[in-house]
Homo-oligomer: A and B are copies of this chain.
Amino acid sequence: MTTPDQDALVQRTLRARRLGLHTQHQPIVIMRTDCHVCRAEGLTGRSQVLLSAAGREVRAALFQVEGEGLLAPDEAALSEIAWEMLGVTEGAPISVTHVPALESLASVRRRIYGHRLDAAAFADIVGDVAAARYTDVHLAAFLTAGAVLPLDEQETVDLTAAMIAVGDRLSWDAPVVVDKHCVGGLPGNRTTPLVVAIVAANGLLMPKTSSRAITSPAGTADTMETLAPVDLDIAALKRVVDQEGGCIAWGGAIHLSPADDKFVRIERELDVDTEGQLIASVLSKKIAAGSTHVVIDIPVGPTAKVRSEEDARQLAERLRAVAARSGLEARCLLTDGTQPVGRGIGPALEAHDLLAVLRNAPGAPDDLRRRAASLAGVVLEIGGKSEPGEGAALALETLAEGRAWTKFQAICEAQGGMRVPPVAGQTHPLAAAQDGRVVHIDNRKLARLAKLAGAPDVKAAGIFMEVRLGQDVARGQPLLHVHADTAGELAYALDYAAIAGDIVRVEP
């Protein structure tokens, strides 16, 4: 026999039901339109509800289903992400109630109306974001507000600190821990795995965590995943770095800056990547990873993310300043951003370029080799492994002697075993329409073409460049090949190529 109180409790809960429903990132609960809890709590017509079970809480979108087919009246079906977040088992009691008001949204509204925020406001916002309390609409509004009225230096410092505070932090038993980062926007610029291998081979500690692509066809984590497992947890990452001096892991698996993943998903949907958010994203991850020194690659070119030297210098100055105020020494390198680096664009195609450079293979892309060596050189210099001005030579030597390749293989094995990057099932050339010389390559259109072909989700998809700036070509000669896994994706990309105007411009 149950007491009246227990009766009341039983009546206010529903039984958890797992549907195996993958809803991307969305926590969703599905209840019957005639559900007694909805009626008793007045939840019908609410867009969000709070699910609670055994001390855990999840905000979920409320969907309702008519009739008998899918659910019993006392069942609440959860999407996979809600199921995981709530950590329940089949049939477990779930209580469903109103979502409490989010006080931090008042700060988002203040920012929308043009007022700047203080450290406490950023801490509240980022705390709610990391706890998955914000809807996509809230996230998009916060990010857009910080784009239209760009975050100032103080706000960027505060956002960075807030993003560090909500995640895990690594600490290392070493006085110098190095890192590198590229602000992106240049297809194929996949120097990170080379830099880690070179630097670790020379005895510096470089626990590198990378992101997946935001608006590009491949992030370092996407590329590296075709060569070795990258979803290391903190214990695995520590083990790899203790053993090899370096790693190339996906940052998302280790919660170093968990709010950033939520921001990145929205920035990707908007195809917007702003300075303040970029700086907070980069620096929060470096600092949380325990880095003391970081080298930042800023490619500059008319179709790169940073279009002018002046913009690049401003960004470098802001990066240095925010880093310094956050306890990190940053060095920025302005690099050539007029054309892609290497020949591949897309996770696996870039991995093939990396392997060629590491193995000193004939035909390995020399621009990728030189660029990686110059970045690794600065890392070696600020890390005290080389005299100023001599780092790049040491880096090239490390590659030429095969020490970087040996180290890279050891890191891959330590991360779980080396993999062979896939090759696409479908390729198609885009050919020169006339004889002439390659005078311009549009990085943005290349990136879009590679994404339409399926990159980064389809690992083998992307573009293989057949020409470089200044090269003479004959009519009909392939300028690039599009790689795709399916005929549908290939057709989709080629449809875009047909209307995009010059992607690679050839002039007589």
Determine if A66 and B22 form an interchain contact, defined as CB atoms under 8 angstroms apart.
Answer: yes
Across the interface, do A112 and B61 meet the contact criterion of CB distance under 8 Å? Answer: no
A452: B residues at CB distance < 8 A:
98, 101
**Would A489 and B42 count as touching, CB distance under 8 A?**
yes
- Determine if A56 is an interface residue (Cβ-Cβ < 8 Å): no
Assess the A67–B270 pair: CB atoms within 8 A: no
Tell whether A420 is near chain B: CB-to-CB under 8 Å.
no
Chain B min CB distance to A98 (Å): 5
Chain A interface main SS type: mixed
A24 at the interface (CB under 8 A from B): yes
Pairwise interchain contact A272-B112, C-beta atoms closer than 8 A: yes
Q: A308 interface residue, CB < 8 Å from B?
A: no
Stretch of A33-41, A290-298, A374-382 with 4 or more beta carbons under 8 angstroms from chain B: A33-41
A78 shortest CB reach to chain B, Å: 13
- Is A19 close to B, CB under 8 A? yes
- Decide if A310 is an interface residue (CB 8 Å cutoff): no
In the assembled complex, 8 residue pairs joining A and B whose CB atoms fall closer than 8 Å, in A order, are A24-B61, A40-B488, A42-B488, A111-B148, A112-B147, A138-B269, A141-B143, A144-B148
In the complex, which residues of chain B have a beta carbon less than 8 angstroms from the beta carbon of A42? Answer: 454, 458, 484-486, 488-489
**Judging by beta carbons under 8 Å apart, are A19 and B486 in contact?**
no
| A34-85 residues at the B interface, CB under 8 angstroms | 39-42, 44-47, 61-67, 69-70, 79
Q: What is the minimal beta-carbon distance from A277 to any residue of chain B, in angstroms?
A: 12
Task: Give the residues from 472 to 492 in chain A that come closer than 8 angstroms, CB to CB, to chain B.
Answer: 484-489, 492
The answer to whether B148 and A20 touch across the interface, beta carbons within 8 angstroms, is no
CB distance from A99 to the nearest CB of B (A): 10
Cβ contact within 8 Å between B486 and A40: yes
Docked Cα-Cα span, A266 to B140, in Å, equals 11
Q: How far is the CA of A212 from the CA of B492 in the complex (A)?
A: 41
B contact residues around A235 at 8 Å (CB):
none
Find A144's partner among B21, B46, B47, B144 (CB 8 Å cutoff): B144
Most buried by B among A42, A458, A487: A42
A98 / chain B contacts, CB cutoff of 8 Å: 452, 488-489, 492
Query: How far does the alpha carbon of A79 sit from the alpha carbon of B61 in the complex, in Å?
Result: 14
Interface bits A99-128 vs B (CB < 8 Å: 1, else 0):
001000100110111100000000000000
A349 is an interface residue with CB less than 8 A from chain B: no
The interface bits of chain A over 154-179 (1 if a CB of B lies within 8 angstroms of the residue's CB, else 0) are 00000000000000000000000000
The 3 A-B pairs with the shortest beta carbon distances in the complex, nearest first, are: A20-B66, A140-B140, A148-B148
Report how far A281 CA is from B23 CA in the complex, Å: 33
In the bound complex, residues from chain B placing their C-beta under 8 Å from that of A64 are 21-22
- Chain B nearest Cβ from A242, distance in angstroms: 34
A373 to B457, CA, bound (A): 63
CB A501 to nearest CB in B, in angstroms, measures 13
The answer to whether the Cβ of A253 comes within 8 Å of any Cβ in the partner chain is no
Nearest-Cβ distance from residue A315 to partner chain B, whole angstroms: 15
Interface status of A446 (Cβ within 8 A of chain B) = no
